[in-house]
Every structure is written in C-alpha cells, then in structure tokens.
Chain A
Amino acid sequence: DIQMTQSPSSLSASVGDRVTITCRASRSISSYLNWYRQKPGKAPKVLIYGASNLQSGVPSRFSGSGSGTDFTLTISSLQPEDFATYYCQQSYSTPPTFGGGTKVEIK
C-alpha cells in the first residue's frame, strides 16, 4: 500500500491568512492526488483532484500543486468555513489511501 504523510498535523491561523499543507507519498503517484475538507460531523468534500484541478463549485482560494511524491494544498485567504480538517488521498493504486489529516484551527 502507498502511505500518505501529511504535515503539519495541526496548525493555528487567522481569517485572511495564507495556509499551506503538504502531503508526501511513500512512492511516486504521478499526479493522482486529491484533497478533501471535512467539517466536524460532516462527510469530506473534495476540493482538488488530480493534484491541481479545482473541483466544480470550489472557491478559487484553494489551489493544489505537485507531482511524484510531494504535493501542496494552499488556501490563499483563510475564511471562517475553512477551519476544518484536510485530507489528501492517492488514487494511483488500489487500495486508495488517505493522509492522517491536518486540522486547521482558529488562532
């Protein structure tokens, strides 16, 4: 199985801040990397697929980059609804695997 490692596991930020979360795969996954946001008590919602493609309806403040083993999710200007947990997920091979999550908290 491909292991996905996210960092940091948590961070504190303020509304309007630029936030960056990283995800590393245990071996190359090309660009088959997705990002999700999960609010408490809710199902995850896809933000970015294929490393850098913005899912329909997702605000443009979200962007993704990377290929191979190293990936980044950037939120250009943090909004109140963005205080949540973020997960990366690889779709390069079965089983699909998720990172451990990054919790974004209010500073």
Chain B
Amino acid sequence: QVQLQESGPGLVKPSQTLSLTCSVSGGSISSSGNYWSWIRQHPGKGLEWIGYIYYNGSAYYNPSLKSRLSISEDTSKSQFSLELTSVTAADTAVYYCARLYNSGWYGGYFFDYWGQGSLVTVSS
C-alpha cells in the first residue's frame, strides 16, 4: 500500500517561497511508469494540477505556474518537493501530493494515491 505524506510550513508570507515535501512509503519513486504529482485546491474550489516529476527527474509544470515553479526529487529519501516562488494570497490552498499511475494504453493515467493534504496560507 503506497502512502504519501505532505510536510512543510502552513503559513508563508507574501513574496516569499512556498516549499513542501512529499514523503512516499510502500512504493518506489525510482520506478518507471508513474509520475509524482502536486495538485492544489483553493478554499471551496476545484482541483488544479500544479506539476509532476518522473522517476528520471524530468518535470512537467502547469503553464500558468511554470515561471514560479520547481519540482525536484530525492530518490534516496523517497521524497519529492515543490517550490513556488513569489507567492501571493492567490496561492492560499490545500496542496496535495499524489501518484499519477499508468494503467496502460486502455485505461490511461489516473491519480490513485493521494496525501491527506497540507493547507498553506499566504499572509503577512
């Protein structure tokens, strides 16, 4: 059973950098086929994909966030991380890490394991 757990500050000041780490257990982030993802949800709103990283270190970002975003991995610790720079109140959200699983050509990809979510508030 794969488990994901987000960690990081719950409060970030405007213009600073939001940093979160996702720790993965029960599965290897070094295995091919799956993408390790970040998704956020603004209060009372829907889901927004932020980006993901592949086992080989290749990262893909939402174009709307790309200029401020960096996703990295530490396979030795089975962790991947998110950094979002120059944050504003609009970045206040619950941030989820999740695994994007490849079910094959027929079923495609879907998010099968999620962390419990980490609320990050941007405020001075």
Contacts and interface: CB of A to CB of B under 8 A. Distances in A.
Contacts of A97: 49
Taking residues whose C-beta sits less than 8 angstroms from the other chain, chain B's interface range is 20 to 34
A91 B108 CA distance: 7
Nearest to A53: B107
B103 A43 contact: no
B114 interface: yes
Contacts of B48: 98
Contacts of B112: 46, 55
Contacts of B62: 95
Give the interface SS of chain B, mostly helix, strand, loop or mixed: strand
Taking residues whose C-beta sits less than 8 angstroms from the other chain, chain A's interface range is 20 to 34
A66 interface: no
Give the interface SS of chain A, mostly helix, strand, loop or mixed: loop
B46 A99 contact: yes
Interface in B89-105: 96, 98, 100, 103
Interface string A38-71: 0000111110011001010000000000000000
Interface in A10-42: 31-32, 34, 36, 42
Contacts of A46: 110-112
Interface of B: 46-49, 60, 62-63, 96, 98, 100, 103, 106-112, 114-117
Interface of A: 1, 31-32, 34, 36, 42-46, 49-50, 53, 55, 87, 89, 91-92, 94-101
Given A36-B111, A44-B47, A96-B100, 10 more contacts: A34-B111, A43-B96, A43-B115, A43-B116, A46-B111, A50-B108, A87-B47, A91-B100, A100-B46, A101-B47
11 contacts: A1-B63, A31-B108, A43-B96, A43-B114, A46-B112, A49-B110, A50-B107, A87-B46, A89-B111, A96-B100, A98-B49
Return the 4 tightest CB-CB contacts between A and B, nearest first: A50-B107, A43-B114, A32-B108, A49-B110
